């Protein structure tokens, strides 16, 4: 079983017992009932209007950064769990318009359609995305929350206007990675980002990186920069740098509102147990009620932060309002 050591750090858990480690972390970090039995917002409860107002004051230059990866067929999905890249097709085109489309007075039009998994590219995991032994956020039965009709309780629409606040970039890739000069720094696949790495990054980046209640924390590993240069490889589901299972307590204790990374799955892959699949998800989503963002493009923002030394900003990260979605695509905007 995982226990805190004297120094407050969290030792690596027993590799052979993910179920025990998850149960222990869940017991330590659970927020069930914290905001009442009917709560659907989880850690977004930490993010108040006052914090949003303060976050808007961080905008000094008016520089806007889209943190979205593209949504197109050139993406990383390979069909695992029926996740494909987006298929974008046209209902009308300019080539048609030149040939005439039957509209009056010379009007021509183009229109389009998309079919895609909601988690194919830059996205939020909603609170209905992951269950622990059949239990969803706040202790609800999974089958009472998510059926084929979607998430009837914690659908992403409940977060539509809430994920707006102070963003903080922790550029762990630049601090601990390779190729800083060429790509901004890249952690290798399998690199487990621990609480110590996070705290060292905060300390090195300086006071604009302090992390606290209600913050929207962006952790850059550099894996997306590598994929951009070398090709996707196994970006969608393969080995990756990412948060260590042992960060569950930090994610809980800091009272952050959400976290996002530039990797497919947020946590380190392979996972830190012999036989496991995304054990940190199993703690943070159903037990902490934490919103997790994946496949974000943090590179341009990170370069800007490295240049001016300011790692905080207004972050507007509103999910597409798909009723009942357990995850949702978005185009997050950081404003400095």
Of 106-145, which residues contact a second copy (CB under 8 A)?
Answer: 106-119, 121-122, 128-134, 136, 141-145
- Enter the DSSP assignment of 173: H
Among 29, 40, 251, 318, binds a second copy (CB under 8 A): 318
325 binds a second copy (CB under 8 A): yes
- Mutual orientation of helices 223-230 and 299-308 as an angle, nearest 10°? 120
Containing 168, the helix (H) or strand (E) segment is strand 164-170
Among 9, 30, 35, 84, binds a second copy (CB under 8 A): 84
- Min CB(90)–a second copy separation in Å: 5
The whole-angstrom separation of Cα 302 and Cα 124 is: 20
CB under 8 Å to 18, separation ≥6 — which residues?
A: 271, 273, 274, 275, 276, 279
Q: Which of residues 224-263 bind a second copy (CB under 8 A)?
A: none
307 binds a second copy (CB under 8 A): no
Query: Does residue 224 contact residue 236 with C-beta atoms inside 8 Å?
Result: no
- Enter the DSSP assignment of 261: E
- Min CB(150)–a second copy separation in Å: 6
Burial 62-86 (b: 16+ CB within 10 A, else e): eeebebbbebeeebbbeeeeebebb
If the CB atoms of residues 39 and 157 are measured against a second copy, the closer one turns out to be 157
Tokens (6 digits) for 313: 């900003």
- Min CB(132)–a second copy separation in Å: 6
167 binds a second copy (CB under 8 A): no
104 binds a second copy (CB under 8 A): yes
Query: Does residue 162 contact residue 44 with C-beta atoms inside 8 Å?
Result: yes
Q: Residue 244, preceding bond cis, omega within 30 degrees?
A: no
If the CB atoms of residues 58 and 306 are measured against a second copy, the closer one turns out to be 58
- Min CB(252)–a second copy separation in Å: 19
The whole-angstrom separation of Cα 261 and Cα 259 is: 7
289 binds a second copy (CB under 8 A): no
38 binds a second copy (CB under 8 A): no
30 binds a second copy (CB under 8 A): no
If the CB atoms of residues 85 and 201 are measured against a second copy, the closer one turns out to be 85
- Min CB(8)–a second copy separation in Å: 26
Among 1, 19, 204, 230, binds a second copy (CB under 8 A): 19
295 binds a second copy (CB under 8 A): no
């Amino acid at each position: 079983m995982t226990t805190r050591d004297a120094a407050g750090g969290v030792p690596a858990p027993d590799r052979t017992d993910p179920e025990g480690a998850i149960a222990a972390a869940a017991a330590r970090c659970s927020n069930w009932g914290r905001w009442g039995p009917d709560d659907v917002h989880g850690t977004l409860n930490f993010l108040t209007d006052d914090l949003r107002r303060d976050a808007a004051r961080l905008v000094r230059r008016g520089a806007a950064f889209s943190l979205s990866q593209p949504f197109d067929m050139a993406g990383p999905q390979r069909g695992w769990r029926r996740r494909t890249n987006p298929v974008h097709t046209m209902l009308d085109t300019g080539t048609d318009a030149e040939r005439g489309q039957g509209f009056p007075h010379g009007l021509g039009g183009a229109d389009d359609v998309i079919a895609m998994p909601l988690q194919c590219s830059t996205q939020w995991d909603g609170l209905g995305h992951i269950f622990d032994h059949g239990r969803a956020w706040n202790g609800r039965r999974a089958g009472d929350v998510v059926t084929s009709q979607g998430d009837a309780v914690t659908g992403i629409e409940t977060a539509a206007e809430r994920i707006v606040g102070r963003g903080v970039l922790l550029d762990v890739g630049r601090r601990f990675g390779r190729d800083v000069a060429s790509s901004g720094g890249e952690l290798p696949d399998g690199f487990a980002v621990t609480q110590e790495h996070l705290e060292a990054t905060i300390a090195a980046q300086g006071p604009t990186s302090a992390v606290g209640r209600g913050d929207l924390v962006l952790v850059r590993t550099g894996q997306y920069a590598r994929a951009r240069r070398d090709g996707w490889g196994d970006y969608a589901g393969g080995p990756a740098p990412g948060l260590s299972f042992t960060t569950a307590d930090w994610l809980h204790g800091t009272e952050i509102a959400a976290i996002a990374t530039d990797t497919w799955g947020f946590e380190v892959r392979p996972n830190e147990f012999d036989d496991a699949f995304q054990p940190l998800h199993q703690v943070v989503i159903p037990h902490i009620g934490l919103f997790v963002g994946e496949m974000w493009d943090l590179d341009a923002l990170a370069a800007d932060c490295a240049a001016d030394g300011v790692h905080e900003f207004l972050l507007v990260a509103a999910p597409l309002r798909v009723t009942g979605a357990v995850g949702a695509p978005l185009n997050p905007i950081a404003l400095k």
